[in-house]
Chains A and B, each alone.
Chain A
Amino acid sequence: MAETKANENKSVLDGLARNPITLGILIGVLAAFVQGLLISAGGPEAYGFCVACHTRDVVNDAVNSIAGTKLAIAPISQNAILPVLTVIGVLIGAFISAKVYKEFKTKTGSSISYIWYLLGGLFFMAFALFMGGCPYRIALRVGYGDVVAFIGLLAIIAGVLIGIKIASAMAEREG
């Protein structure tokens, strides 16, 4: 009896973990919490979670240490003993989860696909930084009341629609 109860609890928790709404609310609330906790170290505001900006901070900080350059990073990462490590955390957390649930599986692609993904990542990063954040920081900024971020969000939706058109045109030509 106790065991079925424990199993039920476990499946409820697992259901919550698998529901994207759980993570959505958590990212939003915790990003706000982290700002309250750490903002004394430096700005900008609405910076709790951003894949593009936080990757930039880690990479530029590493390049600065190795090559002695002075590539710009966000004040919070500049002032702290180490830059924001959210992105490293995501890689670790997802790896542990994939291992625990036996979902880790090496998947390779063709050489051509690697070139596309390399260029895709490069341009994605550049355009995201021009916008002032990836879709995650855009969401935080919209929640923070930034009108330009809302325009960015509408532009992302337009980009998705264009992407769908291109993808289906390509699929039709091949099919």
Chain B
Amino acid sequence: MAAVGWLSKDVAVIAVPIVTILLGILIGWLGQRSGFCSIGGFRDFFMFRHTRLLYGYLALIGGAFIGYFVFWMITPLAFEHFFWYLTSGLTPVPGAPAGLLVAGYIILATIGGIAVGLIGVLLGGCPLRQLVMTSEGNVKALVFVVGMCIGAVMFTAWLSGWVVALMKGLGIA
């Protein structure tokens, strides 16, 4: 059963690039004004007890919950599995490599999360901050974004398949 949103499928497939690029321009503009950074929020809080960026990230989680809740009340069909835990249990929202057991997803989220936090702190920012710094003329951030592009292809072409095979071999998939 496919989810149904406010636009019909014929219109939505055309609207996807237009709506997302406009959303991106707004986020990029405000991201440049505010210096918004998810990992920077935790870093500044733990190092200096600065809460400015952290509150931004917490507001994002809160805003998402309120947004999903309100729009789900209006159009439940577009938010089929909200609130995810109550409709689908511990199995995560699709996105990570498909077909693993819950234990496998928890392992991937733990290892992935630690690596993401670590790299983000050592190289001065989360991926949104790197995109914004690229647009401000920072060549190091540009190189980071190029690395992300290469990483995306490597992940899809090889890494994802290798790790899923390894986890199946270990019996956690």
Contact = CB atoms under 8 A, between A and B. Distances in A.
Interface of A: 14, 17-49, 51-56, 59-60, 63, 69, 71-72, 74, 76-77, 79-98, 101, 103-109, 113-114, 116-149, 151-164, 166-167
A37 to B, nearest CB: 5
Given A145-B82, A160-B42, A26 B64 contact: no
Contacts of B173: none
A78 to B, nearest CB: 10
Contacts of B33: 14, 17-18, 97, 101
Given A38-B12, A45-B79, A146-B92, A21 B149 contact: no
13 contacts: A22-B34, A28-B66, A28-B67, A32-B64, A37-B12, A44-B93, A59-B152, A83-B17, A94-B132, A96-B25, A97-B33, A126-B154, A129-B96
Nearest to B122: A163
Per CB-CB distance, the 6 closest pairs between chain A and chain B, nearest first, are A89-B24, A159-B117, A121-B147, A155-B113, A28-B63, A20-B56
Given A27-B60, A60-B152, A146-B84, A89 B23 contact: yes
B109 A38 contact: no
Nearest to B35: A20
B109 A128 contact: no
Contacts of A145: 82-86
Contacts, number: 534
Contact of B28 (A34, A93, A125): A93
Interface residues of B, number: 127
B119 A109 contact: no
A136 B84 contact: no
Interface of B: 2-9, 12-17, 19-36, 38-39, 41-43, 46-47, 52-53, 55-68, 70-71, 74-75, 78-86, 90-97, 102, 105-106, 108-123, 126-128, 130-132, 134-141, 143-157, 159-160, 163
A90 B136 CA distance: 12
Given A28-B67, A40-B4, A158-B113, A18 B144 contact: no
Most B-side CB within 10 Å, residue of A28, A82, A161? A28
B132 A90 contact: yes
Contacts of B78: 35-36, 39-40
Given A20-B53, A124-B120, A132-B108, 13 more contacts: A14-B33, A28-B61, A37-B12, A41-B15, A83-B16, A106-B137, A109-B139, A109-B140, A127-B119, A138-B113, A144-B68, A152-B110, A156-B42
Contacts of B79: 32, 35-36, 39, 45
B159 A126 contact: yes
A93 B24 contact: yes
Contacts of A85: 17, 20-21, 24
Contacts of B34: 17-20, 22-23
Contacts of A157: 42, 117
A2 B118 CA distance: 51
A86 B71 contact: no
Nearest to A96: B29
A29 to B, nearest CB: 4
B16 A20 contact: no
